[in-house]
Amino acid sequence: MPTTNTRRLAAALAAAALGLTAACTAGGDGSDEGPKSDEKQTIEVWHGWSAAHEVKAFQDAVAGFNKAHPNITVKLVTGVTDERITNAIRGGNPPDVVSSFTTDSVGQWCKSGAWQNLKPYIDKSKVDLNQFPQAVRKYTEYQGVRCAMPLLADAYGLYYNKDLMKGEQPPKTMSQLTALAKKLTVRDPDGTIKVAGFMPSAQYYEHQVQHLAPPFGVKWLTDDGKANFSKDPAFQAYLKWNKELIDWYGYDNVKKFLRSLGQEFEAANPFQKGKVAMAIDGEWRTKFIEKEAPKLNYDTAASPVADDKVSTYGSGFIAGTVIGIPRGAKHAQASWEFVRYLTTDTAALVTLSNGLGNVPSTIPALSSTDLKLTPQFKTFLDVFKHPASTTTPPTPNGNDYIVRFQKFVQDDWETGKVKDLGPALTKLDGEVDNALKLAGG
């Protein structure tokens, strides 16, 4: 399957469990080490894609590099996890290039030196970083150290079933979303949800806090890198919206509905089967619908935003795949040529985007006439380019603060265990800050 937040979240949790930051010591870049890039050599590249169409798309993009650099042979290793990458770096026997779906772990990699600082390579090659949107530049560096380059991106928006909408326009604000969700919901006589207009629970696939809190304008961390849940009223606005709509459905009905659903990445996905009228999802869903539900009458739009944030409509949450050079790479200069080509060459990015169904990560590639994607995909290109689009900032312990907030929402808030938000969010801030302190934040 294409790059997904589900895959990325699992990888981030694995990296955190390994204690990557504590296990690695900072090291210098290898920009002047190993053979020169014009010498005959073989580099080993590890990436996480494993499905047949994914592997082929990557091979097709690499073919362009082979033509430009016939002296460099590229050995591709597919389906690699962050755990395997981490263990190779620890053991002093890493590949030359590594790619990961885990943007949340960039803070760990940059701070520890597990992934090399790319600034010397970038300066020498005169790569213009302005070709990447601001949010993308943010999730590929930490505290001024850029140890990763972006390789395709994920943008999130609203999918809606046009048959179920019955002429209704897609909502632009959260109040419109709530009203339409209630109008489109179909229940059985006992209250069981037959068709959900919109499922607000953070336990529903891509409706995780990472994707539904940003439309309220949340600021995840304070300026000095501390937890901000109790200080930013936007978090309470998100949580109150979430709970009010869940209570309208009835929590027991929500649980029953969620239990009735299958896996996110299968043909029985509820949106594809008409069991959900509207859903937040990533651009890759267009590829799944094309293959698994080609007759589905649907369209896409930007995610609705809080009523007091209408000026940001059109934006959304952004994340993506990252690529870099691990500490100890034996062919660092050739590795940089590969990284530079794959992340800045328009033809390579378009090839990957067409094959994987992800957003190309440079502004020039976004406007390429060679992009061959469905009409509904345009929404995600626009979201990716929008100046108000955001991402989650990296920290020394990855996405620990996201994981803790997600757990709080689904285990304590949605269930009704927490009645008073203020003290609960203050407690959550303390837990996050303690974990950051232990990680060196």
Which pLDDT band holds residue 208 (cuts at 50, 70, 90)? very high
Span 302-330, average pLDDT: 97
pLDDT at 320 over 60: yes
What pLDDT sits at residue 441? 67
Span 326-331, average pLDDT: 96
What pLDDT sits at residue 352? 95
pLDDT at 126 over 80: yes
Between CA 398 and CA 441 the distance in angstroms is 11
What pLDDT sits at residue 29? 58
Give percent of the chain with pLDDT exceeding 70. 92
pLDDT at 71 over 50: yes
Q: Which domains does the chain have, with CATH numbers?
A: 5-154+318-385 (3.40.190.10), 155-222+230-312 (3.40.190.10)
What pLDDT sits at residue 62? 97
Span 26-47, average pLDDT: 80
Which pLDDT band holds residue 263 (cuts at 50, 70, 90)? confident
Question: Which tens digit of pLDDT belongs to each residue from 279-289?
Answer: 999 998 998 89
What pLDDT sits at residue 31? 57
What pLDDT sits at residue 21? 40
What pLDDT sits at residue 398? 86
Pairwise pLDDT comparison (145 vs 3), residue with the higher score: 145
Average confidence score pLDDT of the chain: 92
pLDDT at 360 over 50: yes
What pLDDT sits at residue 373? 84
What pLDDT sits at residue 203? 97
pLDDT at 140 over 90: yes
pLDDT at 201 over 70: yes
What pLDDT sits at residue 104? 82
pLDDT at 17 over 80: no
pLDDT at 25 over 50: no
pLDDT at 186 over 60: yes
Q: Which two tokens stand for residue 178?
A: 């709530």
Span 269-273, average pLDDT: 96
What pLDDT sits at residue 292? 93
